Structure 1
Amino acid sequence: MIQVTRPYLPSRERLMHYIDGIYERHWLTNDGPLVQELTRRLEAYLGVDNLLLVGNGTLALQIAYRALGISGDDARGDAVTTPFSFAATASSLKWEGVQPVFADIDPATWCLDTDAVAAAITPATRAIVPVHVFGNACDVEGIDGLARRHGLRVVYDGAHAFGVTFRGESLLKWGDAATLSFHATKLFHTIEGGAIVFRRRDDLERARLMINFGIAGPEQIDELGINAKMNEFQAAMGLAQLDEIDINLAGRAAAWERYDQALSDCFITQSRHPACSNNYAYFPISLASESDLLGILALLQEHGVVARRYFYPSLSRVAALAPTRGLPSAADLSRAESLARRILCLPLYCGVPAEQVIEPLLAGWRYHVGAA
Structure 2
Amino acid sequence: MIKEHKPFAQPIYVTRPLLPNLEELTEKLKEVWESKWLTNNGPQHQLLEEKLRQLLKVPYLSLFNNGTIALITACQSLRLSGDVITTPFTFPATPHVLSWNNIKPIFCDIDPNTMNIDANKIESIITPQTTGILAVHVFGTPCDVIKIQEVADRYGLKIIYDAAHAFGVEIRGEGIGNFGDISMMSFHATKLFHTAEGGALTFQDKNLKLRIDLLKNFGIKNEDEVVMPGINGKMNELQAILGLINLNYFEQEREKRKLLTETYRQCLRDVEGVSFLDDSPEVKSSYQYFVIRIHEKAFGRSRNEVYSEFKRYNIFTRKYFYPLCSDYTCYRHLPSSSPTNLPVAQEVVQQVLSLPLYGELSVSDVEKICDILKSFRRKSH
Report TM bin, short chain.
Answer: over 0.9
- Would you say the 8 A contact 2:332–2:338 is kept in 1? no
- The normalised TM-score by structure 2 is 0.92
Per the alignment, residue 92 of structure 2 pairs with 87
Residue 212, structure 1, aligned to residue 221, structure 2: no
Residues of 2 paired with 1:271 and 1:336: CA distance? 20
Deviation at 1:247, TM superposition (A): 2.1
1:338 correspondence with 2:347: yes
The alignment status of 1:149 with 2:154, answered yes or no, reads yes
Shift of 1:322: 3.3
User: How far has the Cα of 1:323 moved from its partner?
Assistant: 5.1
Return the alpha-carbon distance in structure 2 between the equivalents of residues 205 and 255 of structure 1: 41
Match of 1:368 in 2: 377
CA contact (8 A) 2:267 2:370 kept: no
Q: 1:242 to 1:367 in 2, by over 3 A?
A: closer
Unmatched runs of 5 consecutive residues or more in structure 2: 1-10
Relative to structure 2, which stretch is displaced further, 360-369 or 303-312?
360-369
Q: Counterpart of 1:362 in structure 2: which amino acid?
A: D
Does the CA-based 8 Å contact 1:100-1:323 persist in structure 2? no
* 2:368 alignment counterpart: 359
Out of 272, 279, 294, the position equivalent to 1:287 is 294
Q: Distance in 2 between matches of 1:363 and 1:30?
A: 50
Equivalent in 321, 330, 333 of residue 311 of structure 1: 321
Counterpart for residue 264 of structure 1: 269
Give the equivalent residue in structure 1 for 2:184: 179
Deviates more, 1:311-320 or 1:22-31: 311-320
> In structure 1, which of residues 221, 226, 234 is the aligned counterpart of residue 226 of structure 2?
221
Change (3 A) 1:127 1:296: same
- Which one is further off, 230-239 or 293-302? 293-302
Which structure: greater helix fraction?
1
Aligned residues: 366
Deviation digits for residues 276-327 of structure 1, max 9, x if unmatched?
22111110000013952122222211111110000000111111123535x3
- Counterpart in 1 of 2:358? 349
DSSP-derived class of the 2:62 partner? strand
Q: Name the CA distance, whole Å, in 2 between partners of 1:367 and 1:194.
A: 39
| SS of the residue 2:350 aligns to | helix
Q: Which residue of 2 aligns with 1:40?
A: 50
Matching residue's letter, 2:98: L
| TM, length-normalised to structure 1 | 0.94
CA distance 1:66–1:317, change in 2 (3 Å): same
Residue 63 of structure 2: SS of its match in structure 1?
strand
Alpha-carbon shift at residue 116 of structure 1 (Å): 1.4
The 2-side partners of 1:367 and 1:237 are apart by 41
Q: Distance in 2 between matches of 1:150 and 1:369?
A: 50
TM-fit CA distance, 1:223: 1.3
Distance 1:255 1:371 in 2: 30
Secondary structure of the residue aligned to 1:64 is helix
CA distance in 1, matches of 2:174, 2:368: 38
Answering whether residue 307 of structure 2 is matched by residue 302 of structure 1, we say no
Deviation, 1:365, is: 3.3
Q: Give yes or no for the alignment of 1:27 onto 2:32.
A: no
| Structure 1 residues 222-262: Cα deviation after superposition (integer angstroms, max 9, x where no partner) | 11111110000000100000022222122212211111111
* Corresponding residue of 1:17: 27
CA distance in 2 between counterparts of 1:352 and 1:69 reads 44
**Structure 1 partner of 2:8:** none
Distance in 1 of aligned mates of 2:113 and 2:279: 8
CA distance in structure 2 between the partners assigned to 1:275 and 1:24 by the alignment: 46
| Structure 1 residue ranges, 4+ long, deviating more than 4 angstroms after superposition | 271-274
Contact 2:189-2:196 at 8 Å conserved across structures = yes
> RMSD over aligned Cα, in angstroms?
1.7
Percent of pairs with identical residues: 38
Partner of 1:203: 208
Moved more, 262-271 or 304-313: 262-271
**Offset from partner CA, 1:142-195 (integer Å, 9 cap, x none):** 000000000000000000010000111101100000001100000000000000
**For 1:358 and 1:295, how far apart are their aligned partners in 2?**
20
Give the SS at the match of 1:251.
Answer: helix
SS of corresponding position for 1:286? strand
Task: Go from structure 1 to structure 2 and tell me whether the alpha carbon gap of 1:319 and 1:328 turns closer, same or farther (over 3 Å shift).
Answer: closer
**CA distance in 1: counterparts of 2:303 and 2:247, whole angstroms:** 36
**Alpha-carbon distance between aligned partners in 2 of 1:336 and 1:324, rounded to the nearest angstrom:** 16
In structure 2, the CA distance between the partners of 1:81 and 1:215, relative to structure 1 (3 Å rule), is same
